[in-house]
Amino acid sequence: MAKVYLNPGHDQLSLKGTPGYDPGACNEELGMYENEVALAIGELVKKYLIEAYCEVEMRQDEDLYKVCNEANRSGAEIFVSIHCNAFNGTAHGTETLYYPNDEDGRRLAECINSQIVDSFEITDRGVKERSDLIVLNQTYMPAVLVETAFIDNTPHDAILLRDDKDDFARAIARGITDYFSEV
């Protein structure tokens, strides 16, 4: 049985209202916050992976060192961090990030990114190397950070994030199972 560690991005919802609370990117017009969207998608991904006979651990926490340490101790075979992108309100698309020269991480990123792009009319921003992200450089297993779509792009991406969380979750879960079927 495959073991997956999921990390919906940014602060836990239970900390809302506390000093320093960081919900991540937001779309004020639609009242959407990255941590809420990422958690909703993460919970659905977890459900679909469990249905596919994967073992899943999940943690949403702004303390990424704590998250990575827990993931490293968990025995998980892969690590998937779920986020929403933001830039200037006009950028759009999905991209999946992995640690440089990690071929397994690249394959995992490709599997997930392909499933998302195939599931939506969304711009494919591709898979990209990033060495500066804690969730990618402090984990001991293949790790990716999925930027599902741009939460600040109201005409298109944000609407997908609002209305199609289940489809994003199914695509991410399929990408993960595709990865394990190739290993």
**What is the share, in percent, of the chain residues with pLDDT greater than 90?**
86
The pLDDT tens digits for 141-172 are 999 999 999 999 988 999 999 999 999 999 99
| CATH label of the domain that carries residue 158 | 3.40.630.40
For tokens 């960081």, the residue is 22
The pLDDT tens digits for 10-23 are 877 666 777 777 78
Domain, as residue range, for 94:
3-182
Cα separation, 138 vs 88, whole angstroms: 29
**What is the distance, to the nearest Å, from the Cα of residue 169 to the centroid of all Cα atoms in its chain?**
9
Q: What is the DSSP letter of 17?
A: T
Confidence at residue 65, expressed as pLDDT on a 0 to 100 scale? 96
The pLDDT tens digits for 72-111 are 999 999 999 999 999 988 899 999 999 999 999 999 999 9
How many structural domains is the chain composed of?
A: 1
Confidence at residue 183, expressed as pLDDT on a 0 to 100 scale? 73
99: left (phi over 0), alpha (psi -120 to 50) or beta: beta
> What per-residue string of b and e applies to 59-76 under the rule 16 or more CB within 10 Å gives b?
bbbbebeebbebbeebeb
